[in-house]
Amino acid sequence: MGESARRVAALGECMIELVRRPDGTFTMGFGGDTLNTAVYMARLGVAPDYVTALGDDGNSDAMVATWEAEGVGTGHVLRVANRVPGLYMIETDDKGERRFLYWRDSAPARDLFVLPGSPALAADLEGYDLLYLSGISLAIWGERGREVLFPMLDRLRERGGRVAFDTNWRPRLWPDRETAQRAYDAMLRRTDIALPGVEDLRGLYGDADAEAAMARVRGAGVPEIVLKLEKPGCIVSAPGIEETVPSETVARVVDTTAAGDSFSAGYLSARLKGRGPVEAARSAHRIAAVVIQHRGAIIPRDAMTAVLDG
């Protein structure tokens, strides 16, 4: 992919994040799958814009300020009067696995493509070199939002832009499985770099194993695939390449909240710097291994010192 991709954006939703500490108290931060990826990409030297909608409250102001401090572009954050962001709470067990509780039904991000400023936003996004979104993004925008999104992606790709997509399947966000399958099918046909998970595609389509999942994504015409396996590791498939890349060994997993998000950031950042798919996957594993040893979606910057040149 290389240095030709200069305008990069991640699209989706950021919410207020409450994390339950071991003593029962909570800390507050901000997180969301594509936002997490955008922050980690910025830290890795590939600063994307973040595309979302927020309210006009103090928490929305604080989100924008936090992203700007991280080097994430905020010029395409639409603001909606008298609205507030969604909220989620993370509870983590002693093995580092997490449980999420959400309050997001009236979040402005759900209306990203149907707001008064949406047509101008969509027109500008067509000029980007790379857009990144996830299955959660697809779900929250609904049918009306996807009716704007898919033609926009077609126009972007017609002029040489690329689309990266993380499957990130969350069944509770969809009205039914059939609607989700249609949306994912349409999205995969418009994807240049897919970051699917075996568990995602089993849950959504019933694909039995990695071979079936890979066949499905290949069948949609995706040229570059990084299939995240159930056991730590991934399979990289690109023209002339088919290789299993094991993950990094971690002595103690603290919190897996942003494991996939940071993996996507590591992979896309490396590819945008001109590294090959296999090397990019190794870099992605290194970054995810650091992230899962800390609590919360966005870990302290100083905890990433060892991988910031990766």
Return d(Cα 205, Cα 33) in angstroms, integer: 22
- Examine the residue annotation and report whether 261 is marked as an active-site residue of this protein: yes
> Roughly what angle, to the nearest 10 degrees, separates helices 58-70 and 33-43?
30
DSSP-derived 3-state class of residue 263: helix
| Owner of token pair 């069948």 | 219
Cβ proximity of 32 and 264 under 8 Å: no
Please give the torsion angle defined by the CA atoms of residues 110, 116, 122 and 125, in that order, rounded to the nearest 10 degrees: -90
Question: Which of the residues 207, 255, 261, 302 is marked catalytic?
Answer: 261
Say if residues 204 and 167 touch (Cβ distance below 8 Å).
Answer: yes
Would you say 301 and 43 are in contact if contact means Cβ atoms under 8 Å apart? yes
All residues at 6 or more sequence positions from 25 whose CB lies less than 8 Å from its CB, including other chains: none
> Burial code of 107-131, b = ≥16 C-beta within 10 A, e = fewer?
bbbbbbbeeeebeebbeebbebbbb
Q: Please say whether the beta carbons of 87 and 15 come within 8 A.
A: yes
Active site amino acids: 261
